[in-house]
Structure 1
Amino acid sequence: MSDKPDMAEIEKFDKTKLKKTETQERKKTLPSKETIEQEKQASDS
């Protein structure tokens, strides 16, 4: 047994059969200090 994977299947792979997809990145912004304080006060009462 070899430690290296069998690369023969990868070399035979046909990339032209893959579908094109669009990647969308979503960036979440962190809440402001004021928002955090308001939520803390709301949960305390």
Structure 2
Amino acid sequence: MAFTADQKEIFLLVKRGDKPDLSEVEKFDRSKLKKTNTKEKNTLPSKETIQQEKECVQTL
């Protein structure tokens, strides 16, 4: 009997059980991470800009 790829994946998931493998997570060293500063690139439009766009659309 041949199994499809989906059936094989389901079989492997059932065989492993419900417990995920956390061995790599336990080995992870947070001290090796670099500090980063995030900068917002896509800001939301102001109320004035939204109002101007609404007025422009209404005139069409």
Aligned identity (percent) is 43
Following TM superposition, the consecutive aligned residue runs of length 4 or more in structure 1 with deviations greater than 3 angstroms are: none
Report the TM-score when normalising by structure 1: 0.58
Q: TM-score, length-normalised on structure 2?
A: 0.48
RMSD of aligned alpha carbons: 2.0
Query: Number of matched residues?
Result: 40
CA distance in 2, matches of 1:2, 1:24: 42
Q: Which residue of 1 aligns with 2:22?
A: 7
Q: Take 1:11 and 1:38, find their aligned partners in 2: how far apart are those partners?
A: 56
The alignment partner of 1:16 has SS state of helix
How many Å apart are 1:4 and its aligned residue? 2.2
Report the structure, 1 or 2, having the larger helix content: 2
